[in-house]
Structure 1
Amino acid sequence: MMHLDDMALFVEVVKAKSFRGAAEALGMPNSTVSRRISMLEKALGLRLLHRTTRRIELTEAGQVYYERSKRIVEEARLAHLELGDMLAQPTGVLRASLPVDFAVTYLAPLVAEFARLYPGISFEIDLTPRRIDLVSERFDIAIRMGEPEDSHLIARPLARLVPHLYAAPSYLALRGEPISPQDLGRHDCMGMIREGHWMLTRGDSQCEVPVGGRFHLNNVGMIKRLSTLGLGVILVPEEIVADELASSQLQRILPDWQGKPMPVYALTETRLLPAKTQRFIEFLREKLASKR
């Protein structure tokens, strides 16, 4: 199979009617052009050009090869132009799996902004915490919080979210506001199932606080909702409770202390991504970084 580059070079030689003219147009040595055309003829087993001291002329085989090659090279050029247009203005369906609460609270405005920037992209969005199979389920991308579990996927870091402590004003009016991390031991602290302690830091200080309460769940949205109803203290990134803070349903407590930063990753099955997915990852990375 001939390389497309050799076809394109042959077409340029014919158009220029000389090796020298083609070499000057392409910015390569005249000897290189002559050698590559000779190698092309040898590979084909046919002479394509009659060479004279002043000019070149097509053989019968060369005329046929030129007509075919010219169309192929032009089609390839148009294909590259179209791909360039797709990179500049990507199109297609972007299938994304997003974490429920982070998506609804925080990512939704960003997705809307991205959609306005790229009107040629449509979206199929799956809000789920489950582990998806990017290959068999044909997802382009999954956004996940926490360290990635599947080493077979390509994980691209987007941000690191810092958890803080929050509680409803009604809960604090009833139970009082903690003034130190150790005070959390006498409070109802709502966390994920099997979460028996919180690691908190303040500058260089660090403490591990045993926590407990009546509720242990596996859904951040439910944890957040129960906290707004006055049922306990939660440790989550501000991005998750932005609306509840704005409406004063929750307030921050122990403001000098924070939890362990939570990474956010974009997971893909391969490093070779279509333009729509590349642009989405770049957009989220830029936006998430600017909001830190």
Structure 2
Amino acid sequence: MHKMHKRFERYALFSEVAKQLSFSKAAESLGISRSYLSSQINQLEHELATSLLIRSTRSVRLTAAGEKILAKMHGINASILELEKELDHTKSEVSGLLRITAPTIFSHRFLVDICHQFQQLHPDIEFDLDIGYNRQDLANSHFDLAIRATNTPPDNMVAKKLMPYQHICCASPDYLIRKGTPLTPSDLIEHNCMSDPNLRQWQFSKQGNSEQISTHGDMLISDNQLLLAAAEKGKGIIKMPCYLVQPALDNGSLVQLLQDYVIAESAIYLIYPPQLRSSAKLSAFTDFMQQWFETRS
């Protein structure tokens, strides 16, 4: 039994090598030397009397036994993460660290302000914000809460709706004076429609009829803030979530187009694991966010 802690350490080290398929990358990720890592994996193979890795000068591959251990370690690591998360949320006071993953557009528009206002009420709260478009697996990561744009929140998570939204088309008054105002989606073919390179197909619906337009433009940008800035400068037409462009519509720098048509509709949800329902800090924050949006609806 006294050797089991070393055996478990070797299993953990092996799972990192198996994930990275590289001793050098695994050693760097773990913060240990490559020689120590290699010696521990060799010792594990000796104890188990089987090969776990197929090594060559350029690559590392898993044997069938290695694949089996990696699959088991995934489950063990997930259980440890879940346990640590639950322990972190057993405190009754609203304090400590909240780890949140959220989409970029929402975060730029709302999240930093919301977190700042919440910290004014609860100064012992800290935030770790992961901003981007990678959908983190809450069951197998250290994140406590996800903010997601979706119409189908996962069934195995607690999901609280924050707000509905839809995409809208808009352009600056200057652009519309120079190029004219599109009255139907098909008119967009004659306009400079700026978008993400992967989102050039724009879907419209009206009275149950749908049509898809293949847009064209001289500026493809994979950043919504830059697209918004280009539209405000009169470069062309954009299609974006209404909540992102609302300030520009309010101050007149952009004008909404094709208002009779429905573009993509969705909603923003708060999503978190059901094991954290009783967390004081998480409950306080999710309640605060819901009230924040209710006062602005």
Q: Specify whether residues 137 and 85 from structure 1 end up closer, same or farther in structure 2 by C-alpha distance, changes over 3 A only.
A: closer
Structure 1 residue 162 corresponds to structure 2 residue 154: no
What residue is the counterpart of 2:148 in the other structure?
144
Distance between the aligned counterparts of 1:259 and 1:188, measured in 2? Answer: 18
Matches of residues 63-74 of structure 1 in structure 2 within 5 Å? Answer: none
Structure 1 residue 230 corresponds to structure 2 residue 234: yes
Asked if the contact 1:148–1:265 (Cα under 8 Å) also holds between the matched residues in 2, the reply is no
Classify the secondary structure of the residue corresponding to 1:162.
strand
Q: Deviations over 1:152-197 (max 9, x none)?
A: 6554432221222211223222211112333222222233444343
Q: CA deviation at 1:216?
A: 4.1
Supply the AA of the counterpart residue of 1:241: V
Q: Specify whether residues 262 and 171 from structure 1 end up closer, same or farther in structure 2 by C-alpha distance, changes over 3 A only.
A: same
**One of 280, 284, 288 as aligned partner of 2:289:** 284
Distance between the aligned counterparts of 1:143 and 1:240, measured in 2? Answer: 16
Task: Choose 172-181 or 144-153, whichever is displaced more.
Answer: 144-153
Q: CA deviation at 1:136?
A: 5.5
Classify the secondary structure of the residue corresponding to 2:138.
coil
**One of 190, 198, 205 as aligned partner of 2:202:** 198
Structure 1 residue 252 corresponds to structure 2 residue 271: no
Distance between the aligned counterparts of 2:198 and 2:102, measured in 1? Answer: 24
**One of 119, 122, 125 as aligned partner of 2:123:** 119
Q: Specify whether residues 108 and 247 from structure 1 end up closer, same or farther in structure 2 by C-alpha distance, changes over 3 A only.
A: farther
Larger Cα-atom Rg: 1
Q: Deviations over 1:64-105 (max 9, x none)?
A: xxxxxxxxxxxxxxxxxxx7952xxx2211111222222122
What residue is the counterpart of 1:212 in the other structure?
215
**Consecutive unaligned residues in structure 2, runs of 5 or more:** 1-89
The total of aligned residue pairs comes to 206
Q: CA deviation at 1:199?
A: 2.9
Classify the secondary structure of the residue corresponding to 1:142.
strand
Distance between the aligned counterparts of 1:151 and 1:233, measured in 2? Answer: 37
Asked if the contact 1:141–1:268 (Cα under 8 Å) also holds between the matched residues in 2, the reply is yes
